Structure 1
């Protein structure tokens, strides 16, 4: 997993390096220059104005922090609107997730769509050998009957150079990915080349970027996530519920 901003950025280093920041240019340039001293690989678009005057948002995957305009201090965590209770940071994460999934594209996913109307699209990070991933897949007809389209993205939990990773590569390299995935989840042997290894690596990296803690990870159509398995009826209730609803069910992970 990617380290948090706290481990990536030493606060003391930020304060000490502020003196090295250029005195010319805008405030955001000053903040970017200070951060890039300790995070040389940080992209310019990872630092942006926040909703709060005088604070700049910095993003590292699913981790966020807020830096003062002089580049001296950073608060790590989520920014809340106390009046509405809305998490402005989580809203940013939702948009970011949907953007990155769109960039990945359905061509790199394995899609099981309803025969009738599609009411919701859920992207699932899956592991061929994960028990609850297999349970979810065994109920595919029920998800589809509820109007839920399932789009699979690969996330072998054991990481590169593991047997599960090899199986994922074989499935994603198959001419008939849907059949290969179903057979693999039933425990059948899978074989295939590694020409699609870069796809599996890319999707595995994306799961880490999203802060995945276990499989399955469900990305709902509004960009929010569920860390774990939900049966078809519970998932439908979650998807159809109005914004701000609270759920007591505990998703299960494999």
Structure 2
């Protein structure tokens, strides 16, 4: 009988905990909806810090809130492990970025791959961008060092720009790699029509915080803004796989 009472108590405690979690989830969602009805909430869970909840937004962005949703915090949450600070927010955001990029079919990217890739980078690029052109000239060296380069489109001047049209021509070409080579060496790319993913990729870049090009995303989801020389970039990419 004593065992049964303990089992019942444990069960009631579990139900109570689940109820508290459900109440917190709803309270937080209500607050965020009142602030911005369009805010896309991916998940809500207790954070590693007791009493604080972690909200994952679209694109991997993170917010922190009290259980009643009345206190909100946007910023980095660190945990000290063995005397060293670990950025938990950055790690969570990177995992969110990886999840989004992994969902993109290879057919919607322009990929330059070595025979035996050791890791990969995803580059949000604009053909009308000097440093993007410089980075592209070093793609053979990146490939030689074992780094696969996956391109996504990011027309910096918007979807009505000439660069957006050229990016669409690249993505619609029968040979996307050849078309990218032409565009990055300031040669014209034949006009082509198709169901281009350029707008979708531009929106994705904005959602994860891309504001300029090239924006390089490592295999672990960390974003490096701006050009890096091939040897340095390959070293960073290989260390992050």
TM-score of the aligned structures, taking structure 2 as reference length: 0.84
Q: How does 1:53-72 map to 2 (within 5 A)?
A: 53-60=50-57, 61=59, 63-72=61-70
Distance 1:96 1:44, change over 3 A: closer
Q: What residue number does 1:200 align with? A: 198
Count matched residues.
219
Distance 1:214 1:242, change over 3 A: closer
Q: How does 1:19-98 map to 2 (within 5 A)?
A: 26-60=23-57, 61=59, 63-83=61-81, 84-98=84-98
The reply to whether residue 224 of structure 1 matches residue 222 of structure 2 is yes
Partners of 2:166 and 2:234 in 1: CA distance: 30
What secondary structure does 2:216 align onto? strand
Q: What residue number does 2:188 align with? A: 189
| Unpaired segments ≥5 residues, structure 1 | 1-22, 244-254
Give the Å deviation of 1:143: 0.8
* Structure 1 outlier segments of 4+, above 6 Å: none
Distance 1:95 1:62, change over 3 A: closer
- Give the root-mean-square deviation of aligned CA atoms: 2.1
Higher strand proportion (structure 1 or 2): 2
| 1:16-68: CA deviation from partner (whole Å, max 9, x where unpaired) | xxxxxxx9x52111111121122212345343332222222234445432111
Partners of 1:140 and 1:239 in 2: CA distance: 13
The reply to whether residue 142 of structure 1 matches residue 141 of structure 2 is yes
Give the Å deviation of 1:188: 1.3
| 1:152-206: CA deviation from partner (whole Å, max 9, x where unpaired) | 1111111111100010111101111110111011111223334233x10111011
**Is the Cα contact below 8 Å between 2:60 and 2:92 reproduced in 1?**
no
What secondary structure does 1:56 align onto? strand
TM-score of the aligned structures, taking structure 1 as reference length: 0.80
Q: What residue number does 2:234 align with? A: 236
Partners of 1:212 and 1:190 in 2: CA distance: 25
Partners of 1:54 and 1:162 in 2: CA distance: 48
